[in-house]
Structures are given as structure tokens and as C-alpha cells.
Structure 1
């Protein structure tokens, strides 16, 4: 009988152990600390040259392990354990003995503490707490002293605002929801256009000429460490690669190629409309380049429009349509914003056929005058699936934000967001408007060098003033994927 009870007790203990084993597992990682700690050897930290908001941590481990850094601002009265905003995590250095880990998302002139975390599939170990302090950002950085006129702006969004300066050298910036600069990178070119991708990289159009605000002859893609992942220049592969001047837009397409707007030049006989037999007409196009620098697709406005029969072509021939934004929808078709015609076009992503026009004098949707837009920028599909844009308001000098649900069966465009902003925020050229976390609107006024924030009813929340020329400001949810951590 005693042996039976002992057997039962053994089974109960085994069951409890197995229960703990499975309860403590999460995505093949132990949440608990190792009973016998992993051997975390030497740890050293150094600031990255010419960048006070990046620090490199070198870690040695006895065995090949996954290692990352957990860090936080050393300010005990400002910890918030509920939403864990006080903790930050580096990217993971996987299955190595020698680890080079870059700390980002840092604020200037701030004291931090950190621990090294080493883990395998069984458990994780922590180093002793260490500390460091960042310096003040250099005086020559264009984003040296940003100003905000309202505390309401702080924490209005969860992610980051990205922007860039236009001078030489150019700077890429990330600003957090405290309106603090937390990342920057210097580029020895004028950054004409920049787009933060869903792969946590930034695509840029670059130029050695700082006077042409959106016109460039070079493409470069950077990661957050500042490494150049891809680069090509006009003429690098003759007519088989980038063979045109770029402007206004660069993004990844659905196949991870690079798509951009181009200037297209054609010579036409315009004697029938009062011109010469060899008139140069400048239009717009699309180019798609793969990651080897090869051209894989192109389109031109000349493919779907005849300039000879176009009304007023002699006055418009030097800037026929002036495209200023490009977007690819989930079906692979393109949306292009044309500023001079106050229209957004949809282009078939395979055939290049013009599918429809929204807005303008000859649009395919019956928009009332109150919903039409003038000199618009940044036409895109927002997180609600609607076509959204900044109406620059060239007709009345009043900027507006508009979005539409497009019904291609019934050819209707139903407004979803539609509000005017104060006239003093006006930006005649450039700028954008984007949805933040489905709750707020961010409006970049290039002329005012400010970013304004509103709720969806158009109520003003506040603004961020910058010290540099803005072309566009965009929103990104996170710097990099942090879902790998067992926190």
C-alpha cells in the first residue's frame, strides 16, 4: 500500500513537472531564467562615428546563442509598466558567439540602463545592469531644436514620423510620439524623396544638385544601420536599367521591385496648333527596376494620350501633366496623382491601359464641386482601403484632407474623410496627408515647414515645427520587427 501511494505521488510530481514544462513554453522559447546561466562574456559599448543616436554593443558568448539588448531610460519616476513604454529592445543577433548589436531609438542627452539577454530554445540569461548616456545632437544637424506648440501632440500616435531634409548633405529622420528625434542618418547627397518601406528600409531619390527639389538621377536603399542595400544611377546599365530622370516618388511595388516616377521627353510636330515641327514635350512615366538594377516595366503618359490633340498643349508642353505621387494597389494597378489636371488616374499594372480618372474637368466619377481637389499630392490607399490625398487647395488657398471609397462597378466615389484646415497652414506645392492609427490625420505643410495633427473630424490638435525644408512626412508603425522577443 505504501508503495502504491509512493507511485501515485511520483505520478503527481511528474504531471506537475510536465504541466510546468508546457505552461512555461511560448513559441518554442522559455520565459524563465536559466537555472545554470548562459556564459555572457565580455560586453563593450561604443558610439557610432558621426551619430550620437546609435551605439554599437559587442558581446561574446561561450556558445552560439541568440542575443539582444533590453534597455530603458534611467528615470525612475517615469516608468510605465502597464504599456511597457519604458523598455526598448534591439534587433536579435542570432546563433552566434560574437555579436555586434546596434542600439537605436535613442534620445539625445539622456541616461540609459541596459542588460544583455542571451537565450536558446530552453531558457534565457541576463547580464548585470549597465549604463550609458547619449550626447546632445550636433549643432549642424537640421533637426537640432524642433518645437511643438501643443502638448496634445505628444503621444497622439503609437509609431514614428519620418521625414528628410533637402540640402547637401541630406538627413533622414525618425521622430517618436514624444516628438523627440530618435534616429537619423546622413547622406552625402540631396535627398529628393524618401519612403520608409514595410521591410524597415528607406528608399531614396538622390541628386548632387540641391536646387531641383524633387528631381534626381540616383536611387539608394538604406537599412537602419545606414548600410546601402541597393544603389543605381542613371545610365548605369544603359537603356536596360535606369535611363531617365526620376522625380517625386519612389516605393517598393508588390513584387519588391522599385517603382518610381520619371520624366518622359518626346518630340512632336505641333505645327497644326501653332508650334514647330519638332517641339519637345515633357510628360511623366513609371519605371520599375529590380534589385539588380534591371528595368522590368515602364509606362508613359504618351502611351495613353496624344499631345497633338490635347487642348492647350503649346502652353503645357514643358510640364504636360506634372505627376507627383505613385501608388500600387493590391491588384497591381497604379494610382498616379497629376497636379496640373487636378486628377488621380488608375493605370492597369500589366497593359498600361488608362482605367479611370478621378477629379478634374473630364473625370469618370460624378464628383460635385465640393469634393473636387486642386493641386493635390500624396494620393494613396489608406489603412481603411480608401483613396486618400492632400487637397492643396490651389483654387482657394485652403488645404483640405479627403478620402474616398471607390466603387468601380457603379463608378462612385463616396467621401469618408473631408475637412478643411486653417488657411494659414496652406502649402501651395508639395506636402501630404496620412492617416495615423485610424484615429488621426497628419498633414505636412512643406511651405510652413510644419507637421500638423488633427482628429478625423478636423479638430486641430497641435503642430511640430522643423528647422529644415520638408517635402513629405510619413508614418511608420515600428522601426523593426520586435515580435521575436519573449518579454
Structure 2
């Protein structure tokens, strides 16, 4: 493990040293995939693109964490061992300093989740810390969010016996309990352990009950801190964003789904969503997949304004790709310093940047067959 961390640190140090001194990035690394740039117009936010190319469910295709420039050239890539994947590779802040973070592990074919470890490295490549879930659990690939409290928010999938007869499944069935944990990075102490089965019934799911596999009724895919310090938890399979009390774990409200606490106005409906994030006072930005692979409905990024007193949710803005892209899985959006919005189109292996007016400023794609769970743009090294 020590040798592995040293090797990772050396690789990260090399790329970050290059990024720090370059005004024009160096030529592409020998190993890595890069991007095929389709559109590049003036006005994009400065910085490099962070992606983690993978072939979903493949046990043989190589997977990477990559830093790429606006011409699609690989500035740096870290190739993980065959059979492993990287997700959510990005820049964050830990103890007041910029760091690189990522999840690395295995994701069984068709399972829709992963088991692995979360890593934090400084900008010289030294691994500062790893984060692991509570006893007997494994970190899932969907979320690794550092907070200003020196904690990490992660997701976990825990298979457990369940009576599924109420939803048309076997009485002696199996279900994935969706777990969100907040962990003190320095000590590993679990500060919050929230599990879906204690708060959300099976009947709220829009996912079909499988004949043999465990029932992924909830499918947790994001945990983020809202503006008031409580948590926003996304459940893809219930079409719901849950606001959860960070101290007690109680559900404060539900947005969307079968039991929404808000009446959703025209255009504010969403389904199979990812990555809800606070986007201003009483506003949530959501990657609305609008599809689970069973339709070609265009995916969108939507901004939804919440009136907690009137219990209404109003669409204030939405962005679609001009090609009407439909992402059956994965995806995210990121607010950039210049007012642009950077978007990863998940399963489609596409990344885009849109101006405040919704105009497409940058568009690129990974090689055929590859996707990236999320995509980001970061500057400031």
C-alpha cells in the first residue's frame, strides 16, 4: 500500500508541477485518452478539465483519471489497475488548502455502484489521507465531498435482507439500503450515518423489482451541503431530492417523486436525476437525466426556486444541449467563476460549457465506448 501511494503521489506531483508553471500546457502524455474537441468559442472559464474515463462494467478496458486542456490534450493521466475504476476526480479544499480527490475501486458489471476507497492528495502529489466508510461498509463511487468542517460526505450501498412482497418481490428478498455518512477525515469517526430504509419506503421507488438481484430501490448518487448547513441527498430511483437534518438525520422536506412536499410548477419536474446542489437562496440546481435508458427524452440542467412557506417549486432556468443529448445514467453540473456552467453528460462521454445565456461555448467527447461519471473545470493552481 505504501509503494502504491508513493507511485500515485509521484504521478500527481508531476502533473501539478506542470500545471503550475504552464501558460500553454505541454504535449499530451504518452498514456491517456484525451478529448475530441467539437466546439471551442471565446469566453470559456480558464482552467483545465478533470475527467475519469472508464468503460462501464468492463473488467479489461483501462480506466484513468485525467487532466485535459481546452485542445483536448492530456496534461496528465493516472491509469489504474485493470479491473478498477476512478470516479469523481476533482479539486477540493482540505484544511484550507487545495487538494486533489478521487474514488478508486471496483464496480461490478450491472451493479450500478462501487466498492473502494476515497483519496486526498496535496498539490505536490503526497497522499494526505484516505477516507473509508464505517465498520463493515465500503465507500461507494457516487460521492466524495469534502466540507469546511474537515469532514467528508460519502455514499454506501449495503445489501440487506428485506420482505419485498409489498412491491411485487419475494418475501425473502434482498435490498440495497442507501447510506450517507459524514466522516471526520482526521480520525475516521462517523459523525452521521443516514440510511434510506429508516426514512423512505420501498413503494416510493420508480425502479422495477428485479427477479433475482438485490432491489436497488433508492439509488443514492449525491450528498451535498445546502446553504443552511443541512444536507441534500439525491435518490435517482425515487425521483426525489431529500433535505436531511445534518444532526438528527430526519427528512426536512422532499422535492419531487411520489410524495413531494412542494407542488412542482411547469418545467420543474425531473426524473432519474443526479447532482443536486445549492445555487443561490432557496434555489437548487439539478442534472435532470429525464431518462433511465428507456426513452430519448433530452437531459437538462435545471434551476428550481423553492418557496418553503407556500410549498411551491418554480423553474427559473434550464439548459439543454443543442443536440438534445439524453444521458441514460450519470452526469453533473458545476458553476464556474465567470458565470458559466460546466456539464458532464455521464454515460454519453461528453463534456460541455454553457454561458450565462445558455449558449454552448465548449463541447468535447471522450473516445467511443468511454464515459466519465462526472466532469469538472478547475483553475487556480
With the length of structure 1 as denominator, give the TM-score of the two structures.
0.64
Structure-1 residue corresponding to 2:125: 226
Structure 1 or 2, whichever has the larger Rg, is 1
For the residue of structure 2 that corresponds to 1:203, the secondary structure is: strand
The question of whether the paired residues in 1 share the 8 Å contact of 2:151 and 2:183 is answered with yes
Q: 1:266 to 1:430 in 2, by over 3 A?
A: same
Structure 1 residue 106: deviation in Å?
Answer: 5.8
Structure-2 residue corresponding to 1:142: 33
Q: 1:241 to 1:194 in 2, by over 3 A?
A: farther
The question of whether the paired residues in 1 share the 8 Å contact of 2:350 and 2:371 is answered with no
For the residue of structure 1 that corresponds to 2:178, the secondary structure is: strand
Structure-2 residue corresponding to 1:297: 192
The question of whether the paired residues in 2 share the 8 Å contact of 1:399 and 1:423 is answered with no
Structure-2 residue corresponding to 1:192: 87
Structure 1 residue 391: deviation in Å?
Answer: 1.1
With the length of structure 2 as denominator, give the TM-score of the two structures.
0.79
Q: 1:453 to 1:271 in 2, by over 3 A?
A: closer
For the residue of structure 2 that corresponds to 1:158, the secondary structure is: coil
Structure 2's unaligned 5+ residue stretches are 1-7, 56-60
Instruction: Kindly indicate whether structure 1 or structure 2 has the higher relative contact order, using CA contacts under 8 Å at least 6 residues apart.
Output: 2
Structure-2 residue corresponding to 1:206: 104
User: Structure 1 residue 173 and structure 2 residue 66: aligned?
Assistant: yes
Structure-2 residue corresponding to 1:259: 153
Structure 1 residue 318: deviation in Å?
Answer: 0.7
How many Å separate the matches in 2 of 1:149 and 1:159?
A: 18
The question of whether the paired residues in 2 share the 8 Å contact of 1:337 and 1:344 is answered with yes
User: Structure 1 residue 156 and structure 2 residue 65: aligned?
Assistant: no
Structure-2 residue corresponding to 1:471: 373
Structure 1 residue 255: deviation in Å?
Answer: 1.4
How many Å separate the matches in 1 of 2:115 and 2:220?
A: 15
Structure 1's unaligned 5+ residue stretches are 1-47, 56-89, 91-101, 111-133, 235-239, 480-487
Q: 1:103 to 1:385 in 2, by over 3 A?
A: farther
Structure-2 residue corresponding to 1:361: 258
Output the aligned Cα RMSD: 3.4
The structure where strand makes up a greater share of residues is 1
**CA offset digits 1:408-442 (Å, max 9, x no partner):** 23323333322333354221111112222353222
Structure 1 residue 208: deviation in Å?
Answer: 4.3
Structure-2 residue corresponding to 1:80: none
Q: 1:232 to 1:337 in 2, by over 3 A?
A: closer
How many Å separate the matches in 2 of 1:247 and 1:341?
A: 19
The question of whether the paired residues in 1 share the 8 Å contact of 2:51 and 2:67 is answered with yes
Structure-1 residue corresponding to 2:4: none
